[in-house]
Amino acid sequence: MATATTQKTNWLVDMLTSSLGRKLIMALTGLFLILFLVVHLLGNLQLLKDDNGVSFNRYADFMGHNPLIQTISIGNFFFIALHIVTSIILTLRNRAARPVQYAYVNMGKSSSWASRNMMLLGTIILIFLVVHLQAFWAKSKFGGLSETTLDGKSVHNLYEATQIAFSELWIVILYVVSMVGLAFHLVHGFKSAFQTLGLNHKKYNALIHHVGVAFAVFVPAAYACIPVLMHTKQESLSLVALGSCLVVAGIVSAIVKPREERKMSEGGAG
């Protein structure tokens, strides 16, 4: 009995530590983080409400004290760490497995820019995460936030902390650059996740591709718009900033979409 259990355990360990198993981990954790991006964005959009931060502080207080949300938050940190560690292992093993000269000459012909630079894009996102967590999450957990009264009780004024952070131009620029990096990261990651899970068929490849590109462009663009709009307080400048965000989103889409579609077309022709 013990031997059978050990064999099953060894099989699971062998599978999860294999190249295929690690790609599966990347796909599942990536899709979870994509879902998190959507939920987190819906909450962050409360920052743009003209109510002096009441809606956002109510949202932040709920997220910070709900036991279920806090449990999911712990899982989210775990999945982020697992995603990062697994990606590093896969990248190092892939580089060690292929001849450098061959890879240098041929990788541009067989892969997109985003897929070749996932580690660079991931590093940009990691730097952003460190700054983001230090500016908001760490202060909410370990002190450093002022208090405000909401619904008759004292709560952390995370809205004020966000205003202060986004008054710094370098932070706004870091957020925008990071969201561009996230966009390119998602362009490759979204499609790859579904392919790893076996959803790779000509009937729905195009749909997955278009949904992935749309998600990769407009979700990061929405995230980038928040600090830009909060930094430019005047209404006229805010409209210009919003327009600029949408223009950037359109440019990224125009760059990414033809390249990805050309790659799909070439793959189909081959």
Mean pLDDT (10-residue bins), the chain, 270 residues = 55 70 88 92 90 92 90 90 87 70 49 68 84 84 84 90 90 90 86 84 82 88 90 60 59 54 48
Give the whole-angstrom CA distance, residue 181 versus residue 188: 11
Contact 191, 214 (CB under 8 A): no
List helix spans (H) across 133-199.
Answer: 138-142, 158-166, 169-196
DSSP 8-state symbol, 149:
E
**pLDDT in the model for residue 55:** 92
Give the whole-angstrom CA distance, residue 189 versus residue 196: 10
- Residue 234 within any structural domain of the chain: yes
Contact 220, 182 (CB under 8 A): yes
Which phi and psi (to 5°) does residue 211 adopt? -65, -40
- Residue 187 within any structural domain of the chain: yes
Number of H helices, E strands in the chain: 12, 2
- Residue 77 within any structural domain of the chain: yes
- Residue 166 within any structural domain of the chain: yes
Contact 71, 10 (CB under 8 A): no
Q: Residues with Cβ < 8 Å from 226, sequence gap 6 or more? A: 44, 45, 47, 48, 166
- Residue 217 within any structural domain of the chain: yes
**pLDDT in the model for residue 133:** 86
- Residue 140 within any structural domain of the chain: yes
- Residue 54 within any structural domain of the chain: yes
Identify which of 269, 255, 210 has the alpha carbon closest to the alpha carbon of residue 114: 255
Contact 180, 252 (CB under 8 A): yes
Paired sense of beta strands 147-150 and 153-156, if any: antiparallel
Give the whole-angstrom CA distance, residue 152 versus residue 37: 31
Alpha-carbon dihedral angle through residues 206, 87, 34, 164, given to the nearest 10 degrees? -130
- Residue 88 within any structural domain of the chain: yes
**pLDDT in the model for residue 247:** 60
The structural domain count of the chain equals 1
**pLDDT in the model for residue 269:** 46
**pLDDT in the model for residue 88:** 84
What is the span of the domain harbouring residue 198? Answer: 14-269
**pLDDT in the model for residue 111:** 60
Lookup result for tokens 């819906």: 42
CATH number at residue 116: 1.20.1300.10
Identify which of 226, 203, 219, 228 has the alpha carbon closest to the alpha carbon of residue 253: 219
Contact 154, 147 (CB under 8 A): yes
Give the whole-angstrom CA distance, residue 57 versus residue 156: 7
